[in-house]
Each structure stands twice: as C-alpha cells, then as structure tokens.
Structure 1
Amino acid sequence: MTTTPRRTVLAAAVAAAVGSSVSLGGDAGAAPQGRGGGRGHHGADPDSTIAYHGWVTAADWRAGTAQGVSVVTTGRAGVVLTRPRGTLDYTDPHTGTTASWQYATWLSPVRRPAVPATELIASWNAHTPAGTFLRVEVQAGYSDGTQTPWWTLGVWAAGDEDIRRTSVDGQEDGKATVWTDTLAVDDAASGLRFTSYRLRLTLHRAPGSGAAPTVWRLGAMTSAVPDRFEVPATAPGAAAGTELTVPDYSQNIHVGQYPEYDNGGEAWCSPTSSQMIIESFGKRPTPEQLAWVNPDFADPQVCHAARFTYDYQYGGCGNWPFNAAYAATYDGLQGVVTRIASLADAERLVAAGIPLITSQSFFEAELDGAGYGTSGHLMTVVGFTADGDVIANDPASDSNAEVRRVYPRRQFENIWLRTKRYDANGAVRSGTGGVCYLYFPVRPSSAQRSALAAAGIR
C-alpha cells in the first residue's frame, strides 16, 4: 500500500527548514522533525522527553479559569456550559454558513513540561449534543521569552449536522507551525523550544437551546525527541504470548465507498483501526446510527467511523485527536493521543488489556509480511507471540480474514519508533516516533491504571 501525501506544500516547507524531505500519508500528523520515541514517560525515566498531561478530575477543572462553564462533580468530572458569556458569529468554512452561537470558555493553568518541547499534540473527550460544538486552542511559550498567538487545534462536534469538524491551516508565526493536529517548532536544530503552554476550550450552543456541551478530558502530549534512524532493540516482555480479542476489519473492502469521506480503501486506516479497538471493549454503533449506510456495504460501522472522524479541512479521516474524540463518544470509553517510548511500554499496556493504535511509515522491504509500503499508516497492536513478535490487526488487507498479521519484533519497533528513515529510493523521510492512540475504559482496572500510569496517562 502506498498513500498519497495530502499536504505536500506544507511538508516541503518544513523539509526545506530542516534540510530533509517529509512524506505524509494516511495519518494527519505531519512529521516536521524531532518526532521521536525517547525513553520513558512522564517522569518515569529521567531521560524522557515525552510528557502527557490531562485535566480530568474535578480538582483539575477547578484549577482552570472558568467563564460561563461549571465543573461537573457527580459521575464523570468535567466542565459544562451553563451561563454563556455572550454570543459570537461562526462562519463554517466548509458550508459558508454564518450563525450566532452562545459561548463560554475554560482556560487551563500554564503547564511547564519538565523537558522543553519541539512538538505538542492535544486531545479531548467530550459530549456535544445536537446544536453544540467546541473549539480547542493552544498558546505556547518559547524558550526565547516570547509566546505564540492563540492557535486552533480543532473545531469539533461529534455529529456533522450543525458544523463541519475541522482543523485550521495557515497557522504559523515564523517560529512554529500547526500541522493539522500537531504544533511543531519549525527548526528544532536552532534550539528553540516550547517551555510552557496552556489550552483553552470554547464551548458553543445555539441560542435558546437547552443543550450543553460537556468536556471530560483535555490534555496534551509534548516531546522533544532527537532525530534517529534506529531505536534500541528490546527483548520480549510482559505480554509475550498474550493476544487480545479484537475484531478483524479490512479498510480495503471499502474502496470507492463514500467519496465525500475520502473514498474508503487506503484512506480509511485510522477509522478502521479505531473501530476495531472500540469494539474490542464491547462498544459499537446502534442500528439507528448505522441506518444512513448503504445496506449493500459490509461492516457499515467502518463507514460510520470514517464519517465521524472526517476532518473537512484535512480532507481525510486521519486527524489523530479527532479519532480519539470519536472513540470517547462511546459510553464508558476514553481516548488520548500520545507517544510510547518503547515496545516494552506497549507490552505493559497489552498485558493489561489495552491494545494500541500505532502510526508508522516504511517501504515494503522494511516490514516482512506486510506486502506494501506506506508514507503513513495506522494499524493496531493486539498482542505478542511467545517469541515477542508483534501481532497486529492491520487494516491494509484485502479481506477481513487477512487482517491478523504477525510482524517481526525488531522491524516493527524500528519503523514505529524512529523519527527518520530512508525510503526505497534512498531519500530521507520522517517517522512518527511512537505516536499512538490509546483507548481505555472510563473506569480502568487496577492493572490498566498501572500500565497507563507507566505511559504517563491518568
């Protein structure tokens, strides 16, 4: 499988800045530079550059600045729009429709990562009933004492009847750029870093509506991982011989379906992977939710996932935070986007019953058994053989029966965790450096809490 870059102009600009080319594919996150694995997470290893911080408890939400929102203290903690600050007009860039919306805001405290960062990826979990939507923004502080403007990381709703969920292009200040879902320093070699950040939520509802959007989780992963073509090898660990029960769904059986959501096939690796993992936790769309899908199409839930992860600006279903937010629309599930430092960390999660959705790029000869090459692809890690090889549900398969694959451990960990690679022609390309989606229960088991904590997630 080969994927077609969707932001070639932006990627070329970054490549020029860092002196190497960048190839984008089926996942939205560009790989400007420094997208890497590091070691450890969230202080678990003193050498770690990866840190995820989430606002999830009532105390977390109270620590922010609320204007027109209230903290939910019963059940799942969060913030909900209760007393709008006023109204504002929003013109949907994808429909041309301008409408007035009541709004309220929540501003996080300033967060200072222990290691200054070159990249930031935010993710969120929210409930947006009909007539509501939200905007997530970031402002980062630079190591030179200046700050970025407020930049949008997503305009999002679970549905698509009121607004079109979208990323925002063209956000840059000559020092950093928002690449769909990732804020990145333009030239990591310059030494410039993000030393702080804060996130802002703006919750919207139609005037006169009693509907209220609620946000249960808001967080960001920061990292500053050095460029590397090779990562240290790991030995089989905690999950050797463990395979989780996960449905097998092929993206390729959907080729040509729903051109308005990027036409199925290779473009649907992210929602297909998301749907597999969502269903592994016993969640799936209702028949009523699937009623819009052509009854002649197999696995209509994959079509549903594509529609409701689709980013109208990016023009595809590979926006990382939009996939995590989609997963969290299912009752009892949470979703985050982060980085994992090593395959051993991934094994701890699998051993606790948490599969991973991983982002990687490679040419065909680099991954035995794949039968394709890709400039960007999502697949799932659902287990490990007794010898430590990776059991993956790879949606880039011609049928559901062919989705389950076993990939050599050393090859898989390198193509996933590296930040730089050579393509089949010898040109330098980028790697995602361990980016993954983690979906897990709202009430995890003690083993799951421990594995998540080792990955910096609470």
Structure 2
Amino acid sequence: MLATALAAAGAGALSAAAPAVAAASAAPSAPSARPGPSAAHRRAGTPVDNRFWSSSTDWRGGTGNGTKVLTGSRSGLVVATPAGSRDYADPHTGTTSTWEYATWTSPVHRSTVPATEAIASWNAETPAGTWIQTELRGTYSDGVATPWYVMGRWASGDGDIRRTSVDDQTDDRSTVWTDTFAIDDPASGLRLASYQLRLTLYRKPGTTLTPTVRRVGAMASDIPDRFTVPAAAHGVTRELTVPRYSQNTHIGQYPEYDNGGEAWCSPTSSQMIIEYWGRKPTAADLAWVNPDFADPQVCHAARFTFDYQYDGCGNWPFNAAYATSYKDMNAVVTRLGSLTDVERLIRAGIPVITSQSFLEKELTGAGYGTSGHLMTVIGFTAAGDVIANDPASPSNTAVRRVYKRREWENIWLRTKRYNAAGTVTSGTGGVCYLYWPTEPTAAQRKALEAVGVR
C-alpha cells in the first residue's frame, strides 16, 4: 500500500546520449523500507528542509538547455528548441522510441538539514506525446558526489510510456528505494549535504508538443530513530467537509493496478482531496471504466498513479503529480513535525494525507493492522482526537473515523516500530501529501509557509 519496498527488477534505460543515470551497482536483494522566495524553508527545531522551484525567478536561476520559461499568471518550464533526441527503451512495453528532449538543472541547494533521506516531487502537465524525468544528484557531508539518481519517469497518461520508478540505483553509500533517496548507514554520520535536481522534458520528434513543469523540488530530512514521539497539545477544533470514498468497495476491480481496490489507499485518498478542491475527471476521462462500478473516479486515480516498476499505486510523488494533472493545483510530498502542524493546516481549510503503519491493537477502532497505509486527516474533535477519512473502510458511509489523538500521533510520526512478528521495522516519520489550489487564501498561504511549503 506504500512505495516502501524494492520493486521487481528490470528498469529501462535511456541511450548513451542521455544525461548520466546513476551508476548502479547491485542494490540489496531484500526489500527495504523507505527509510517565492528562493530560500529554503526550515522551521526551528524541525529536521526537515523543503526546497521547491516554481517561480519565473526560480526557473531563471537554473541552467536550461533547450527550455524556456513561461511567464504570466502561473510560471512554468517548457521545451523551446530541443537540445537533441535520444531513444528510450520502455521496459514495461518492450518498445523503443525516439524522443526530442530539453533539460533544466537547478542550482545547487545546500540543505539546512544534513539529510539521511530526500524525496523529490513535481507538478507537471504532460499532454499525450510528452513525458518528463526527474533526477537528483547530491554531495555528501564528506565532499564526495553522488551519481545522478532517477527519482521518477512521469506521464499523466499511459499511452506513450509507462510511468515508472527505477530500481537498482546505488553507489554503496546511498540507494533510491522507489521514490526515496536514503543514506545506507545513517549511524556512520554520513549525510546528504546538498543536492540539485535535473528535469528532462521529452516530446515526440517533429512536433511542437511540450510538457509544462510548474513545480519541482525535494524534501530533505534527518528524522531521529524513535518508537514514540512527544505529545502535541490540542489547539484546533474543526472538521472539513471532504468527500468519502472506500477503497474496499473496489476490491477485485482492475487487478492489473496493484491488485485492485484492496491496495488503493493512496489513490483513494488523493481522489477525496482532489474533489474537496472542486476538481474531478470528466465523463470522457472515465469512459474506460466499467459503468457497473460505483465511484469510477477512484478506479481512474488508481490507473493514473500506478507505478509500473513498483507495481503499485502508492508511489508518493506519483500521487502528488496526479493531483496536479487537474487544473490549477499544487502538490508536494513532505514531512510534518507534529499534530500542531496538521491543526494549523486544518484551521486554514487544508486537509492532509498521511502515511502510517501499525498493528491492529495500536489504533483503537481501526479494526485492522497494516505495514503501510494512507488516510486523510479532515479535522479534530473538541477533545483533540483525529477525524480521518480512512479509505480502508467497508463502505463510503463508514469512511469517516475518529481515532485517539495519542495513538494516531505516534503511529504517524515514529520511525521505528514492532511488526506482528516482533521484529523492529520502520515507520514513515511524518510523511504526508499536501494538495492546494494555485490561488490559496491568505490564511492557507500562511499555513503552508508555517510548515515550510511555498
């Protein structure tokens, strides 16, 4: 249900003409958990650094090769004159195609948090005949450079390429686990000190088509190992009116996408929030869905967040990118530090999609345990308990749940836990998705800035 494990081997490669992709020695064989302003945004005492490029000034501060900057009401990056062409062998279709491309490389960003992990996310429009690749290259705290790591190959459709993460990327000091860059041995003291991102925009040769990238960036963090977290005082009582969809009503539907609805917690959560903001797929978009299926938009979200390498719908940045395939939406993957952060967002009218794992006994009323699950926080009761739209419910009407504040806080923010076998495994350390419109209210803008997102 989460993109937390190494997917099946066999990622495709670009031709030798491509920018360097990670020098990939064999990754560990066993699956592993995921471990305006141009300034970086870090809150005091929170080991998280967010840096996102989205303004005209941001784009002009990077290095383009064949790209140009769109100005106007919303800035973006597009193909102007392609830098060249290259072949891409899609490992999921067996097809090799030639594509024109242009690139943009960000300035080096020195993280305010020497990091053990980094997660890139992006907002892009990719009409048919186009797609993008996002890469990250960093410098370790000892001055040694990482390879260029592919953080995702993305298309909002699936008719040109299959959107995919890339396995087997490591230099024996760090590894990319589906969507997360991670230092292999954090106990060694090694950290990611700085990084830059590279976008490659692809289009069919001889056309004027172009992807448009509206935002790209990364969250870098160094969350300490912890089985429990300090309790945050309750400060907000509010409940947002968010559509309710159950993933379980889709069990058995379209099993080619992550085994059907039983594993669709992430796209179901994403769809709830997209519709909260007044967006939804059109009837034409949904024409492919069996008309006998209720809530076809959930099937649609599963198909168009599906990561063909991970073989699942839980790739975090892919869900954020899907949200921004709808008009005038922003989305990022980040970490929050406490329920105080969530309350701040809820007060401003911004729901939060959170990632957590737990035993059944650790979350009263859930009725299940999970090694990874997404749900949506939509409010807080007068007592401070968490009101969540939990897609792992038997019906849409049962989706709204109230969970005990202290239990919920701990299962979301911890980085270590015991699984059902009594073995120590990982937690997500406060990972969440934030989706919001391009024209937020002043209060929403202030709340996002307060949690380090601009």
Q: Under a length normalisation based on structure 1, what TM-score does the superposition of the two structures give?
A: 0.92
Name the CA distance, whole Å, in 2 between partners of 1:290 and 1:311.
20
Q: Where in structure 2 are the equivalents of 1:1-12 lying within 5 Å? A: 7=6
1:116 equivalent among 114, 117, 125: 114
Q: What code does the residue aligned with 2:430 have?
A: G
Q: Which residue identity does 2:34 align to in structure 1?
A: A
Give the structure 2 partner of residue 445 of structure 1.
Answer: 441
> For residue 58 of structure 1, what is the aligned residue in structure 2?
56
Task: Work out whether residues 88 and 99 of structure 2, in 8 Å CA contact, stay in contact via their aligned partners in 1.
Answer: yes
Match of 1:226 in 2: 224
Alignment partner for residue 350 of structure 2, among 354, 378, 385? Answer: 354
CA distance in 2, matches of 1:43, 1:338: 12
Distance (whole Å) between structure 1 residues aligned to residue 449 and residue 157 of structure 2: 32
Question: Any idea what the Cα deviations from partners look like across 1:232-252, whole Å, max 9, x if unmatched?
Answer: 001211x32x10010110001
Q: Does 1:377 align with 2:373?
A: yes
Q: Counterparts in 2 of 1:202-351, with a 5 A limit?
A: 202-237=200-235, 239-240=236-237, 242-351=238-347
Q: Shift of residue 388 of structure 1? A: 0.6
Judge conservation of contact 1:55–1:219 (CA < 8 Å) in 2: yes
How far apart, in 1, do the equivalents of 2:2 and 2:175 lie? 23
Unaligned runs of 5+ in 1: 11-15, 25-29, 33-40
Instruction: Supply the AA of the counterpart residue of 1:262.
Output: D
RMSD of Structure 2 on Structure 1 (CA): 1.8
Runs of 4+ deviating beyond 3 Å: 2-10
Q: Does 1:413 align with 2:409?
A: yes
Q: Give the structure 1 partner of residue 130 of structure 2.
A: 132
Aligned to 1:104: 102
Deviation at 1:262, TM superposition (A): 1.6
Query: C-alpha distance in 2, partners of 1:8/1:207?
Result: 32
User: Which runs of 5 or more structure 2 residues have no equivalent in the other structure?
Assistant: 10-26
3-state DSSP class of the match of 2:114? coil
**Partner secondary structure for residue 259 of structure 1:** coil
C-alpha distance in 2 between matches for 1:4 and 1:56: 26
Per-residue deviation at 1:31? 2.6
Q: Is the 8 A contact 1:166 1:311 kept in 2?
A: yes
- Mapped contact 2:54–2:75 kept (Cα < 8 A): yes
After TM superposition, give the deviation of residue 267 of structure 1 in Å. 1.1
Residue number among 188, 191, 205 corresponding to 1:190 in the alignment: 188
- Give the Cα–Cα distance (whole angstroms) in 2 for the partners of residues 252 and 3 of structure 1: 16
Q: Deviations over 1:121-154 (max 9, x none)?
A: 0000001111000000010101111111111000
| Residues 390-405 of structure 1 mapped to structure 2, 5 A cutoff | 390-405=386-401
Q: TM-score, normalising length from structure 2?
A: 0.92
RCO higher in 1 or 2 (8 Å CA, sep ≥ 6)?
1
- Against the structure 1 CA distance between its residues 74 and 4, is the aligned structure 2 distance closer, same or farther, given a 3 Å change threshold? closer
Q: Quick one: which amino acid aligns to residue 391 of structure 2? A: P
Q: Aligned equivalents of 1:429 and 1:310: distance in 2?
A: 25
Tell me: CA distance 1:84–1:5, structure 2 relative to 1, closer, same or farther (3 Å): closer
Q: How far 1:225 moved relative to its partner?
A: 1.1
Give 1:8 shift: 8.2
Q: In the TM superposition, what are the counterparts of 1:105-184 in structure 2 within 5 Å?
A: 105-184=103-182
Q: Distance in 2 between matches of 1:168 and 1:80?
A: 24
**1:51–1:222 CA contact under 8 A, matched in 2:** yes
CA contact (8 A) 1:3 1:374 kept: no
Q: Could you tell me which amino acid in structure 2 is paired with residue 318 of structure 1?
A: G
Cα drift, residue 3 of structure 1:
8.8
Q: Is the 8 A contact 2:88 2:98 kept in 1?
A: yes
SS of the equivalent of 1:222 reads strand
Indicate if the aligned counterparts of 1:23 and 1:430 stay in contact, CA closer than 8 A.
no
The CA deviation string for residues 79-135 of structure 1, in whole angstroms up to 9 with x for no partner, is 111110111101111001111100000000000011200000000000111100000
Aligned AA (1:413): E
1:74 to 1:314, Cα distance in 2 relative to 1, 3 A: same
Give the whole-Å Cα distance in 2 for the aligned partners of 1:292 and 1:123: 28
Aligned to 1:115, the other structure's residue is in SS state strand
Query: Match of 1:37?
Result: none
| Matched-pair identity in % | 65
State the distance in 2 between where 1:142 and 1:268 align. Answer: 36
Q: What's the CA shift for 1:423?
A: 2.1
Quote the offset at 1:43 in angstroms: 2.9
Write the letter of the residue equivalent to 2:143.
Answer: G
**Number of paired residues?**
432
* CA offset digits 1:326-368 (Å, max 9, x no partner): 0001112111000000000000001101000000000000000
For residues 366 and 229 of structure 2, the distance between their equivalents in structure 1, rounded to whole angstroms, comes to 20
Match of 1:13 in 2: none
Return the alpha-carbon distance in structure 2 between the equivalents of residues 327 and 431 of structure 1. 25
Amino acid at match of 2:315: N
Structure 2 residue identity aligned to 1:441: P
